[in-house]
Structure 1
């Protein structure tokens, strides 16, 4: 049998359609129910569904009155506050195309984005770095928009562009991934295929408002089915999370593996009486960490695999737990295959994980780089770049990447992007970047460079801090007489971690 998972397509997305309208579809039926609680040590700031919908539609009115028109791109440079999801959904509600970005990006990084996107406006927190742009809408103006009358949802073709997210590609240049309004319709497959989410749930996500993992899993998906989203206030120490989960009766908890690790490092046993289970995504969950969580809490962890181009589409779940070291199986409604050069490989054989082009969650294209998007297709299959093997029951084991992409702290980073920045530093002849393991299950980015002499590490750190978002910055700099290369002189990035271990001995 070939490595193809296909149990039939999901129901077709209705038309006309609007992503924000779908996310808030339960608001009129449960106007007084709490949709969002921002958790503090001494209480919470609560938003009902009625308040949330009003803030979103009123903000939509404000954005239109600011001169924006349907189809305009709006770059989001906001911090970790509730302004982020309100601005995001407010833009989508009236047909604008928001671009959520990490507040950690530096001014040079945003300058490249502005050149790439040509945004009509920037939603801007003045404390968040951003290059110059003639129309910046600040926090005060955004807040004032919530007092305006509501706009109407801009309903239309579910295939039209709804939002853009950035991802690092193997070329080293972050790519703008354009998604359609239908992307949120596809997320329904996660509700049973990963979350086990119910209307009465209180789902707590440990990520920041301005992380796409939080926007989807932590906010929009609970709201879509009428559940309550819980988000810890900015700056919450992971060691304080168990107390917040208890006090606010969280029934599901979602985070990246690094957060689970920090929680368990602070306490061997966690009392979470209302918690049914946890959700993990962002980077590979190690078996050791998984087992520690189960022992400490008595609850399960369900892992998901995905990417910016299609969010999560393979996962374990309460109804379909993972076996052994597998990720789980494709969610019901997905069509997934393991491909070799000539198409799907036999079950059990290694190949590239691929998702069918008909998946409603798959991106429209890479903005301004359609050729690169087409290059990711093999016939009707979108190639993820990750290797895996499919068992006879559809469960998929992750076997690593077929390129050199790094993952440190849940963020995927291209080594080429890091190398491109460091190559301009005086005194560096050649540079290579790789993720290295500094302690069990903990990876950071390290930069390996050659040059006449070892360089001042303080100066190197200051340089990358000014030119790379924090999650892209190397935490270690290793000077080598020369970098490892193959017979054709090409850098062997996969050999670099061994040099890090040698430098530590």
Structure 2
């Protein structure tokens, strides 16, 4: 039997259609405890309003409640920088500043509803203003990480046909170097204290632009966001998300997975170019009236993160598993997190050993969640649920999550298959619209009645989902299918292992075998590598099924990672197979 949190999606949506009742009834609904579960996702109807806009239907309503004294005095947005700079905005201030930004996009940049803007900025307040401004104007917002190269920017501008780009001084020269090949680009907007030839200056324009702006009407299914996401092959794909998908879709996970209320202050460390920033630094907190906290850090430094959690009244913390590993290795016994009460993680699987160490050092659980750029939160360990360390939790409404075989048939509990979301007879409203200009890729995600995530997993008898690995990460050794995550989770329990990544490696007898790339803890760097290899192999045999142990181990100083902190197993796998 599949079990789901008892949540009434139709009531949420009805409230969203009625401005005068929006947050009074909405908060009464979400304040109710998790009192029971449903055995059918069909209890959650997915009727959508015809029109929806997150800026006018959510943010502006919080601003009105704020003016009426019906919301706590928390700021809506709180930004800090190590140099002592600080910005605090209420929902009302967000409203009039984002209205000015909307006028800049419409009037100075000449953009209209449906046009696309590529925004490549670090964690600066202007990123949030431009995000909201795009909603107000119906312009499609395309985030990009500041680590993009000129080649990356060129590809994104050409593929999306964006008419405007917004960036900082750091990337302006890269944009200028590829201008001749960007035929759709009509305007360039720079966020800088200084003027630059050929660029409109956002800060200068913001100082003189009117606050008078009327939010456009956007249909629920109109495009709102485009994220570029990479697969195992080919160029990055353009994932289109609608106004309702993200604008309404994080209602459930924001309240129950992130445990957010209007009194909370949430810090999500994700870079602005990644989808997790939209999840935890825009939609989930603000639909619940919470404060979005941002620390402008060019790099993740455990000591600064721990100091920030100690210094500021942050109640909810979200960061990547890699960051949690770095924090527990740094050691947290000398810090006191007086306000912190809820921790969440996502983006990649979280090793049970890290969950255990975090609990030991802070007294807090980490509530893991799972989703993709194409979705909102698919599964999560919600507040009040028994946490099974290493699991992704249970399915969240409105998703019906199943494990399916190669033909789309549902597998019984305990059997490995593809993690999938039911899309028939009704497609969940919070699922991506399409891969833009790529109908073949869009169609390839469907198998029978399901959307196929591309991740492999197992569902246990209680409905918890367990991640095995990406479909292209699975190792097939002598007929045994081995997921890298379980081997990595076993390795990290050994005191010699700081980090590891497991991939397939060619073998003349078995076809391929398990190989582990290991970053050693400082105290073990000088140890005999041959003896360490034997110790680690025996350790894995003791912790998990013996056939999964790494027959090859290579000690390296650092693992290849994305700017978001995800391990790039593909680079290591290509090296092993001579494809690098």
State the superposition RMSD in angstroms. Answer: 3.4
> 2:395 maps to what in 1?
330
Question: Per-residue deviation at 1:39?
Answer: 2.6
Structure having the larger proportion of residues in strand? 1
Deviations 1:257-290 (A, max 9, x none): 1222222222242421211121111111111111
1:288-326 CA distances to partner (integer Å, 9 max, x unpaired)?
111110000001100111111113211112222332432
SS at match of 1:69: coil
Match of 1:38 among 65, 79, 83: 79
1:124 and 2:184 matched = no
Alpha-carbon spacing, 1:220–1:474, altered in 2? closer, same or farther (3 Å): closer
- Aligned ranges for residues 372-451 of structure 1 at < 5 Å? 372-404=441-473, 437-439=517-519
* TM-aligned CA distance change 1:3 to 1:177, over 3 Å: same
Conserved in 1, the CA contact under 8 Å of 2:270 and 2:564? no
Alignment partner of 1:12 is 2:47 = yes
Asked if residue 59 in structure 1 is aligned to residue 59 in structure 2, the reply is: no
1:160 is aligned to: 222
Q: How many Å separate the matches in 1 of 2:332 and 2:578? A: 32
Q: How far apart in 1 are the matches of 2:370 and 2:432?
A: 16
Q: Distance in 1 between the 2:459 and 2:567 partners?
A: 35
Per-residue CA shift, 1:222-244, capped at 9, x if unaligned? 12211111111233632122222
The structure-2 alpha-carbon separation of the partners of 1:73 and 1:338, relative to structure 1 and needing over 3 Å to count, comes to: same
- The answer for the alignment partner of 1:230 in structure 2 is 293
Task: Return the alpha-carbon distance in structure 2 between the equivalents of residues 321 and 154 of structure 1.
Answer: 44
Measured after TM superposition, the shift of residue 402 of structure 1 is 1.2
Give yes or no for the alignment of 1:367 onto 2:424: no
TM superposition shift of 1:33 = 4.3
Q: Assess if the C-alpha contact under 8 Å between 1:76 and 1:101 holds in 2.
A: yes
| SS state at 1:294 partner | helix
Q: Is the 8 A contact 1:92 1:163 kept in 2?
A: no
CA distance 1:120–1:268, change in 2 (3 Å): closer
Q: How big is the shift at 1:210?
A: 3.8
Deviation per CA, 1:328-367, whole angstroms, max 9, x where unpaired? 0011332211111332112222111111332222100001
> 1: CA distance between counterparts of 2:363 and 2:567?
36
Contact 2:145–2:272 (Cα < 8 Å) also in 1? no
The structure 2 residue matched to 1:74, chosen from 101, 111, 117, is: 117
Q: In structure 2, the residue corresponding to 1:62 is in which secondary structure?
A: helix
- The question of whether the paired residues in 2 share the 8 Å contact of 1:80 and 1:210 is answered with no
Matched, 1:215 2:278: yes
Q: 1:319 to 1:498 in 2, by over 3 A?
A: farther
Contact 1:158–1:180, Cα closer than 8 Å, also in 2:
yes
Would the aligned equivalents of 1:167 and 1:176 in 2 still touch at CA under 8 Å? yes
The answer as to 2:225 corresponding to 1:173 is no
- Alignment partners' CA distance in 1, 2:76 and 2:366: 24
Once residues 170 and 338 of structure 1 are traced to their aligned partners in structure 2, the CA distance between those partners, rounded to angstroms, is: 21
3-state SS of paired residue (1:28): helix
Please tell me whether the aligned partners of residues 3 and 344 of structure 1 are also in contact (alpha carbons under 8 angstroms).
Answer: no
Conserved 8 A contact 1:126-1:138:
yes
- 1:87 is matched with which residue? 130
Structure with larger Rg: 2
Residue 191, structure 1, aligned to residue 254, structure 2: yes
Does structure 2 retain, via aligned residues, the 8 Å contact 1:387–1:401? yes
Matches of 2:564 and 2:349 in 1, distance apart? Answer: 20
Distance in 1 separating the partners of 2:66 and 2:570: 51
- Alignment of 1:142 with 2:202, yes or no, is yes
| 1:26 counterpart residue number | 62
Distance 1:164 1:475, change over 3 A: closer
TM-superposition CA deviations, 1:423-468 (whole Å, max 9, x none): xxxxxxxxxxx99643279xxxxxxxxxxxxxxxxxxxxxx9xxx9
Q: Aligned equivalents of 2:378 and 2:570: distance in 1?
A: 34
Q: State the TM-score, normalizing by the size of structure 1.
A: 0.79
Q: Name the CA distance, whole Å, in 2 between partners of 1:399 and 1:498.
A: 25
Specify the alignment match of 2:345 in structure 1. Answer: 280
Q: Could you tell me how far 1:193 is from its partner in structure 2?
A: 3.7
The structure-2 alpha-carbon separation of the partners of 1:437 and 1:273, relative to structure 1 and needing over 3 Å to count, comes to: farther
> CA offsets, 1:28-86, max 9 Å, x none?
21156411111345573211111111111221111111211110011112232111121
